Amino acid sequence: MRHHAVRWLCLALLAFAGAAAAQDRFVVCEACHLGIENLHAEPGTGAIIVPKVEPVRFADSLHVGVACQDCHVRGYDSLPHHDIRVRGCVDCHPRTDAAGAAADAAFDFRRLAAEMRESAHFTATRDAFASRTDLRHGIRFTVLGEEDGFRCALCHHPHYMAAPAVTVAERVETENAWCTSCHAGEPERPPNLMLAVEWDALASPAPAGLVAQHAAIPHAERHLDAARCVDCHAPAAEPHSHAVLAGSASATCQACHAPASRLEALWDTGSGERASGAQDEPYVIGATRSRMLDALGLGLLGGVLILILAHLLWRAWRRIREGKR
């Protein structure tokens, strides 16, 4: 009974969408992909599934004003979709309008895309993408502007693109979620992998948990809470580097625990000031020590050594003088 109701609801939505398509390009896709949550009926089977795009999250995203067909450019006229083509991020970014260009100025998208293609993400998953076929639906897809394989959207979900986090804690949480969606202890298949093949072959979970995975690091849990994955697992030479390294090639401890700490990139808001939440003086041993205290302490030790040396010399001189008498 409920299945019938849902089917009728979907058909009604499709009919409405078809009628409105000429006026609003969103509606056709919304009927199935952005519908009422948990009430989407899959064509053919009628099975109720969660919609492909969560409407509330999409409504909050920076891409809410982008029409579906601006990115999904081919293969969506038929149901099920076939031989689809999707634009990649770098086809639009960096944007050319004044506001968009200003917002994108901090990111060298061409470099980021090139780094990604050299990264472990791309090279280690190349085979998994070889068939370009979604095993569930037999959908063939092509991503424009990128080579086949790992792509931006697998981590940076285009439907839920959020404004950059402001605080350090938010930044750590947001950016680490990009990684843990595949690399956590029990990662869930991310919704933006709807077109990917063999997600199980792509994901590299840490069955014992991330803390156990990082057991070689002292106080691993604190590190995972306070730093981003990329602070260790990506080179620091370029900002926002996407040349994600294999685990064994991650940064050394001194990359963060030294005066020129790569964590400055985490704390830096881009305006030359540290992000709020980082505190005026974030403390990381070796990196944020007080130079004044260091100078005073070393001065104290140096002074003591000089006094000891002077006393030794004075005693030696006195002994020589007494010997002459």
Partner 1 sequence: MKAGGGWHASNAARLWHATTILLFLVLLATGAILHFAVPSLGRAGYTLVVRLHDIAGIAFSAVLVIYLVFVFASGYRVHYLPRWHGLGDRVRAQARWYLAGGSGSPPAAGEAAASRFNALQQLTYFLVVFLLLPLLVVSGLLYFLEVWGAGAADPALRAWRLGWLARIHEVSAFAGAAYLLVHAYMALGTATGRARLGFMFGGRAPAGTSGPPHDSERREKSP
- The reply on whether position 217 binds partner 1 by CB under 8 A is yes
Among 3, 95, 126, 315, binds partner 1 (CB under 8 A): 315
Strand 40-41 versus strand 48-49 pairing type: antiparallel
Among 239, 305, 313, 317, binds partner 1 (CB under 8 A): 305
CB of 163 within 8 A of CB of 171?
Answer: no
Binding mask 137-176 vs partner 1 (x if CB under 8 A, - otherwise)?
-------------------------------xx-------
Q: Which is nearer to partner 1, 194 or 217 (CB)?
A: 217
CA 181 vs CA 101, 135, 205: distances in Å = 30, 20, 9
Region of residue 277 (phi > 0: left; psi between -120 and 50: alpha; otherwise: beta): left
CB of 290 within 8 A of CB of 282?
Answer: no
With residue 214 as reference, give the H or E element that holds it. none
CA distance 95 to 66: 13
Among 283, 291, 321, 323, binds partner 1 (CB under 8 A): 283
Window contacting partner 1 (CB under 8 A); options: 84-92, 100-108, 150-158, 302-310: 302-310
Q: Which is nearer to partner 1, 93 or 214 (CB)?
A: 214
For residue 54, the one-letter residue type is: E
Which of 144, 145, 152 has its CA nearest to residue 83?
144
**In 39-108, alpha helices (H):** 55-60, 68-71, 98-104
Within 13 Å, how many C-alpha atoms sit on residue 58's CB side?
22
Binding mask 179-198 vs partner 1 (x if CB under 8 A, - otherwise)?
--------------------
Among 38, 123, 204, 290, binds partner 1 (CB under 8 A): 290
Distance of closest approach, residue 162 Cβ to partner 1, in angstroms? 20
Distance of closest approach, residue 235 Cβ to partner 1, in angstroms? 16
DSSP, collapsed to helix, strand or coil, labels residue 283 as coil
Among 36, 106, 222, 270, binds partner 1 (CB under 8 A): 222
Among 47, 50, 304, 313, binds partner 1 (CB under 8 A): 304
- The reply on whether position 216 binds partner 1 by CB under 8 A is yes
CA 199, 200, 206, 208 dihedral sign is positive
Distance of closest approach, residue 229 Cβ to partner 1, in angstroms? 16
Only one residue has tokens 């004075």, namely 314
CA distance 214 to 112: 27
- The reply on whether position 254 binds partner 1 by CB under 8 A is yes
- The reply on whether position 219 binds partner 1 by CB under 8 A is yes
CA distance 295 to 289: 11
With residue 294 as reference, give the H or E element that holds it. helix 291-324
**The two structure tokens encoding residue 156:** 């940076």
- The reply on whether position 281 binds partner 1 by CB under 8 A is yes
- The reply on whether position 252 binds partner 1 by CB under 8 A is yes
Among 18, 43, 100, 259, binds partner 1 (CB under 8 A): 259
Distance of closest approach, residue 259 Cβ to partner 1, in angstroms? 7
- The reply on whether position 257 binds partner 1 by CB under 8 A is yes
- The reply on whether position 311 binds partner 1 by CB under 8 A is yes
Interacting residues toward partner 1 by CB under 8 A: 168-169, 216-219, 221-222, 225-226, 252-254, 257-259, 277-279, 281-283, 285-290, 293-294, 296-298, 300-301, 304-305, 308, 311-312, 315, 318
